[in-house]
Amino acid sequence: MRYDYVTDGTEIYRRSFEIIRAEADLSGMPDDVADVAVRMIHAAAQTDLPASMAWSDGFVTAARNALNAGAPILCDSQMVASGIIRSRLPGDNEVVCLLGTPEVAAHAADRGTTKTAAAVELWLPRLAGAVVAIGNAPTALFHLLEVVEESGVKPAAVVGIPVGFVGAAESKEALIANGLGLDYLVLRGRRGGSAITSAAINALSRPGI
């Protein structure tokens, strides 16, 4: 038996984006944010994401400028890093995930902190002007805010879309309320995850399909 289904990748993308634009309410957002929203909706297959999205006015421009200038992308999990489509990146950008490296385990042991916190602290040498992509751990997002405040070192833009039942919603509200001048994109509430987060980075990397 052969099934009847579309096998052409570009055609699947085209039809998917057409369905999303027909079904999703993108009216509350500027065009450049809507382009990012479409790809996030595509990753989650949920058209109601826009109602939960929040962003700073300068976010898309800041993120795009940083990526074009070759900024590194600092990811809180290997799944986020895996989801970033390397061929879309405009500036040969380094995709960094330190979690799981021996460096992080050693730093965590030295400082008596968690590996998640250690991984965020070890971003510091690359953090200025970077694009941060947090799609898993609320603790990484909370600790990023602490590290930025304590160090004065600022990333260019923060995609803050951790997922879960404990701390996720709260960490995203903390990012929105940040008094640090950080440009951000957030999906409020419990929902989030690596696929939505890397989809946002993929949208920012290059316009279009």
List interacting residues with a second copy (CB under 8 A): 1-3, 5-9, 12, 15-16, 19-20, 42-46, 78-79, 81-83, 113-114, 116-117, 138-139, 142, 145-146, 149, 163-168, 170-171, 174, 189-195, 198
Q: Which is nearer to a second copy, 27 or 87 (CB)?
A: 87
* CB of 111 vs a second copy, minimal distance in Å: 12
- Burial of 64 (C-beta count, 10 Å sphere; 0-12/13-18/19+): buried
Q: Give the type of residue at 6.
A: V
Between CA 38 and CA 52 the distance in angstroms is 13
- Burial of 173 (C-beta count, 10 Å sphere; 0-12/13-18/19+): middle
* CB of 69 vs a second copy, minimal distance in Å: 27
Between CA 41 and CA 24 the distance in angstroms is 9
Angle at 96 between CA 142 and CA 200, to 5 degrees: 70
> Residue 139 in contact with residue 109, Cβ under 8 Å?
no
Q: Which is nearer to a second copy, 5 or 92 (CB)?
A: 5
Between CA 141 and CA 6 the distance in angstroms is 39
Q: Which is nearer to a second copy, 179 or 208 (CB)?
A: 179
Residue from 24, 37, 39, 42 carrying the catalytic annotation: 42
Query: Is 42 in the active site?
Result: yes
* CB of 54 vs a second copy, minimal distance in Å: 17
* CB of 68 vs a second copy, minimal distance in Å: 25
Q: Which is nearer to a second copy, 19 or 176 (CB)?
A: 19
Residues labelled catalytic: 42
